[in-house]
Amino acid sequence: MDRVDAPTILDVDLPAFESGDAAARRAVVDGTMRSLATGFVYVRHDLSEDLLDDTYGRLAEFFALPRERKDRYTVPGANGQTGYTGLLVETAAISDVPDWKEMLNWSAPVPDGHPLRQRFPHRYGDPTLPDEDIPGTTEVLMAFHEATLDLQRRVLRILAVGLRVDEGFFDVMLRDGAALTRALHYPSMDAAPGAEHVWAAEHADINLITALPRATAPGLQVKVDDAWVDAAPPDGYVIANTGIMLDHLTNGVISPGIHRVVADGPGERHSVVQFCHPTPWTMLAPIPTCVTPENPLRYPTITASDRLEQVIWEINLVEEGRRIDD
């Protein structure tokens, strides 16, 4: 029997897809789809390095604040969708042990009268960011949010071509979408309350795709064929991984990327990721090109908001009814 190589995380060139000839575009699409057998792909980006440096500097300053100062940016009832979330709260769906991390979350607001703001106020309200302690932070973090969202929109156009739908297929569901940007601080494991805790246990993201431009230290690992592989992109590349909603839309053709974050030394780690969500009222119905006699319909239709609420409870972020008590 011929040996079948394990899937490998590949690096692809987004600008080549956008400005190259037909052969260059096909190569990017092919490389992306092959790489997503792992749930991950490295994408060459054009984000401003100055913006990334400013973003990380301000977030490191925020997480270094005393706990009582950070707690002032907690938003009651937000269920981890905006503002600050402290240590030992979020818990992987397969685990009963909270992660050793703290988070700051923000999204882009919509006008007061917009129906999305009326129905989902904590996902579409004004961001709760630490300008009082670190002046000018909202301007910088919102610029990061918008630049990263534009990058994710462009990456999804590669996937649309690979899935044999219109290149702008995902653009529609991202219009006033609920993209969430999350800064994470993973403190030194030397300070963790017990050996059972890790920075982030094995999990899949809920959204369409996730982007991570870079982190301040290693630790992200990808599960490939039941083995853990370090995520190590080249300089100038963003890590992109697939989520549960994309798995649903593609009828399992593109599975969610399973990953964890573990320390390999005594230091701390900062990262900033963006979860690319569709508009909450999007109907997650499998794409017809992904339903074939060989791959029959797997998933019933569900709204994106309902699927998100299921996962928010599973990962212990529902404040009034946590799956795991403090």
Token pair in block for residue 36 = 């997503």
Position 152 scores a pLDDT of 97
Judge contact between 301 and 291, C-beta under 8 A: no
5 within domain boundaries: no
**With a cut of 50, which residues of the chain have pLDDT below it?**
1-4, 323
Length of the chain: 326
CATH number of residue 60's parent domain: 2.60.120.330
Residue 84, classed as helix, strand or coil, is: strand
Number of domains in the chain: 1
* pTM of the complete model: 0.92
In a domain, 320, yes or no: no
> Which secondary-structure segment (H or E) carries 119?
helix 115-119
Residue 77: per-residue pLDDT: 80
Structural domain that includes position 51: 11-314
The pLDDT score that the predictor gives to residue 3 is: 40
Q: Quick check: is 94 in a domain?
A: yes
Q: Where are the beta strands (DSSP E) in 214-325?
A: 220-224, 227-230, 237-242, 259-261, 269-276, 283-284, 302-303
Residue 322, domain member (yes or no): no
How much is the pLDDT for 321?
A: 56
